[in-house]
Structure 1
Amino acid sequence: MNMVKVAFICVHNSCRSQMAEALCRHLAGDVFECYSAGTETKPQINQDAVRLIKQIYNIDMEKTQHSKLLSDIPPVDIVVTMGCNVACPYLPCKHREDWGLEDPTGKGDEAFKNTIDMIKEKIFDLKSRLKDIKTV
């Protein structure tokens, strides 16, 4: 089976989309080739996201990921927007969905942990629905 390419996109590609990329690779890397990107970049990934993903999943996002532009990733089958609360970036794809996640940036650890848990559940849900999503 060919791997389905999924991109998690946001405006800045520094927090939610980065966590989604890391968790997707970790939790569903057997079916998804995972990417994240945005229309702008930040000099570094959100440090609270880095710290908590490392603490909970032992994934060091600073070693495996960096902030990327939409043009830096290959064509994808599935685009997941994080819930930009503005016009979300556009990327061509065969299936698109919005997860409507609130940005935890500037909030406490509990907000980040809630977002991480929601991302985890949504990744498992996406994986379970893959056979019903028309990507080919």
Structure 2
Amino acid sequence: MKKWKVGFICTHNSCRSQMAEAFGKAFASDVFESYSAGTEIKDQIDPDALRILKTKYGIDMIANGQYNKTVDQLPPLDIVITMGCGVQCPAMACLYREDWGLPDPTGQSDEVFIQVIEEIKTRTGLLKQRLAERSREG
């Protein structure tokens, strides 16, 4: 079965794209390799994203080797998923691209954060299903 390379792209690569990479690594690594990057990066992953993913989902992004990256640091990708940042992403060669249009939970309450996290988790699971089916079809 083909193992896809999926890049989750956001403006700062500090929150939504990092969480999507984490869920991809935790729950879909049998179907696709997860990467994340930003068009301009912050110097750290959002502390609330780190805390909530670790306490609620048992995912330690730092221990898993995640860090902020720019898009030029990514390998060639099959799939590009943008998070809905409202910025123009650079042209990136890929087989498929989609925008998830997610609000940025940075600086919001834990409840808002968890709503966005749950949406990312759901969409990552659906992406896994679609790519697994596509791999079986050949």
TM band (smaller chain): over 0.9
What are structure 2's unaligned runs of at least 5 residues? none
What are structure 1's unaligned runs of at least 5 residues? none
The whole-number CA distance in structure 2 between the counterparts of 1:98 and 1:89 is 14
Residue 3 (structure 1) shift: 1.0
| 1:29 alignment counterpart | 29
| 1:80 alignment counterpart | 81
Structure 2 vs 1, CA of residues 90 and 50 (structure 1 numbering), >3 Å: closer, same or farther?
farther
| 1:18 alignment counterpart | 18
When the two structures are superposed, what TM-score results if normalisation uses the length of structure 2?
0.91
The whole-number CA distance in structure 2 between the counterparts of 1:102 and 1:89 is 20
Which one-letter code corresponds to 2:115 in the other structure? N
| 2:69 alignment counterpart | 68
Alignment coverage as a number of residue pairs = 134
The whole-number CA distance in structure 2 between the counterparts of 1:50 and 1:111 is 15
Q: Identity of counterpart residues, as a percentage?
A: 55
The whole-number CA distance in structure 1 between the counterparts of 2:32 and 2:74 is 14
The whole-number CA distance in structure 1 between the counterparts of 2:101 and 2:91 is 15
SS of the residue aligned with 2:97?
Answer: strand
RMSD: 1.5
